[in-house]
């Protein structure tokens, strides 16, 4: 366990809620999900690969390596399951910070390193949620064990979000349509390890309310559950029901982002949101800003200067003066990049800076930004003084 990693998570709080701002001009750290072991001599392939959480400084370009790394276990220990991901599955590996700032979450497979993906897609392989707390403890006791996100090639489990670590909203792809879909958005409570009857609930799609079973990311902001997909007619960002639903057959309503290759989202406020697009920058890829006028969301501009490719994973944090710090992953999984925008901007400004490049035979997938957290968390870990030194 890395103390630097624990410190950065211990000062974490909600992102995307439009209510948290930094006293300093940038976040202290950025955490990135990496697939593949550093130093590996084998390229990522269609087999199970180990997963790591790397932490980088937020304001230093071209870092040679992370300041800290936390390895996700590849072995089973009691009720805690192993967790791996398919090495070359670019849609997997979402990394999220809980709304209350207490946990990082991700989801993968209960498969041994090196297992062929053909053995990971079927219903016989469980999907496993990892919840990492501020002490660096990794809990993988939450298991989807009833064929969720299963089927043939392409039925990947991709990401998971939580408000407080007690329950989760999962995103992925599956087979079937409507209420028979094995993919979509699913709700599951923490520690749900009952097999073979997993208690996860298919929130969307449904036969009665429609929707798509191909979801790239789920997201919580302003008390609302959202989903990002690249499947028409829901391409972009959609609301799932009203608020944070826990029952089936919720209505999926597209609100913005149609026409691109949507991937991840960040809400800076109730009227400003940012959406990543994995297309080439010449075709509109990058970081799109969307504004809401009270009735309609419209595309204001796309940030792409300095990007070698489109953008996939995204995290954001509000700074002082209306600035918004972004950390993103390039669509090829090769780079961790950053840029700053401002809520008052009406046109694209700034240039992306590369913070780090993924080591050979590895790839970056998801990203999260630790932000100032609750005083009780800091006091419990003896980090109040450290935080005060940082913000003076």
- Residue 53's pLDDT is what? 97
Percentage of the chain exceeding pLDDT 70: 87
Given pLDDT bands bounded at 50, 70 and 90, which one contains residue 107? very high
Strands 297-303 and 286-292: antiparallel
**pLDDT beyond 80 at 303:** yes
CATH number of the domain where residue 84 is located: 2.120.10.30
Q: CA–CA separation, 280 vs 163, rounded Å?
A: 33
- Residue 189's pLDDT is what? 94
320-348 pLDDT, tens per residue? 999 999 999 999 999 999 999 999 999 99
- Residue 199's pLDDT is what? 73
- Of 298 and 145, the structure prediction assigns the larger pLDDT to 298
Domain count, the chain: 1
- Residue 146's pLDDT is what? 85
The least confident of 20-34, 131-145, 197-211 is 20-34
Average pLDDT over residues 247-269: 95
Average pLDDT over residues 122-138: 92
The least confident of 121-125, 213-217, 306-310, 357-361 is 121-125
Determine contact, residues 179/206, Cβ cutoff 8 Å.
Answer: yes
Average pLDDT over residues 361-388: 54
Rounded alpha-carbon distances, angstroms, from residue 212 to 40, 297, 378? 37, 21, 41
- Residue 24's pLDDT is what? 60
SS3 label, residue 37: coil
154-209 pLDDT, tens per residue? 799 999 999 999 999 999 999 999 999 999 999 999 987 655 445 799 999 999 99
**pLDDT beyond 90 at 145:** no
- Residue 391's pLDDT is what? 31
DSSP letters of 314-356?
Answer: EEEEE-GGGEEEEEEEETTS-EEEEEEEETT-SS-----EEEE
Range of the domain at 336: 3-391
**pLDDT beyond 90 at 48:** yes
Determine contact, residues 318/293, Cβ cutoff 8 Å.
Answer: no
Given pLDDT bands bounded at 50, 70 and 90, which one contains residue 27? confident
**pLDDT beyond 50 at 30:** yes
H/E stretch holding 379: helix 375-380
**pLDDT beyond 50 at 378:** no
- Residue 26's pLDDT is what? 76
Is the Cα torsion angle 333, 237, 273, 168 positive or negative in sign? negative
197-236 pLDDT, tens per residue? 457 999 999 999 999 999 999 999 999 999 999 999 999 9
Scan for tokens 């950390």, then name that residue: 327
Mean pLDDT, the chain, as a whole number? 88
Number of other residues whose CB lies within 10 A of the CB of residue 381: 17
């Amino acid at each position: 366990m890395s103390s630097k990693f624990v410190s950065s998570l211990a000062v974490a709080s909600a992102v995307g809620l439009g209510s948290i701002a930094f006293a300093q001009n940038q976040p202290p750290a950025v955490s990135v999900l990496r697939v593949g072991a550093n130093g590996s001599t084998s390229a990522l392939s269609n087999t199970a690969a180990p997963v790591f959480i790397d932490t980088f400084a937020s304001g230093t370009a071209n870092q040679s390596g992370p300041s800290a790394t936390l390895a996700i276990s590849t072995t089973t220990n009691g009720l805690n399951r192993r967790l791996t991901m398919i090495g070359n599955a670019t849609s997997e590996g979402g990394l999220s910070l809980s709304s209350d700032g207490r946990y990082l979450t991700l989801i993968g497979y209960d498969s041994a390193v090196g297992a062929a993906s053909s053995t990971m897609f079927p219903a016989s392989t469980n999907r496993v949620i990892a919840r990492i707390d501020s002490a660096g403890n990794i809990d993988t006791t939450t298991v989807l064990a009833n064929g969720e996100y299963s089927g043939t090639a392409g039925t990947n489990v991709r990401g998971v979000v939580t408000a407080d670590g007690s329950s989760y909203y999962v995103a992925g792809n599956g087979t079937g349509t409507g209420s028979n879909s094995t993919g979509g958005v699913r709700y599951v409570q923490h520690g749900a390890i009952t097999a073979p009857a997993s208690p996860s609930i298919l929130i969307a799609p449904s036969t009665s309310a429609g929707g798509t079973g191909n979801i790239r990311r789920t997201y919580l902001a302003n008390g609302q559950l959202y989903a990002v997909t690249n499947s028409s007619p829901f391409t972009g960002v959609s609301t799932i029901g009203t608020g944070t639903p826990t029952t089936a057959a919720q209505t999926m309503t597209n609100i913005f982002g149609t026409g691109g290759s949507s991937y991840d989202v960040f809400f800076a406020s109730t009227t400003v949101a940012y959406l990543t697009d994995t297309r080439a920058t010449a075709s509109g890829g990058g970081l799109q800003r969307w504004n809401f006028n009270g009735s309609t969301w419209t595309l204001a501009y796309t940030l792409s200067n300095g990007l070698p490719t489109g953008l996939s994973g995204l995290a954001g944090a509000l700074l002082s003066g209306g600035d918004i710090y972004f950390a993103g992953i390039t669509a090829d999984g090769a780079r961790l990049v950053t840029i700053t925008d401002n809520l008052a901007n009406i046109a694209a400004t700034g240039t992306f800076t590369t913070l780090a490049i993924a080591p050979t035979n590895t790839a970056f997938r998801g990203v999260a930004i630790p932000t100032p957290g609750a005083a009780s968390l800091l006091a419990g870990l003896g980090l109040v003084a450290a935080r005060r030194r940082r913000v003076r």
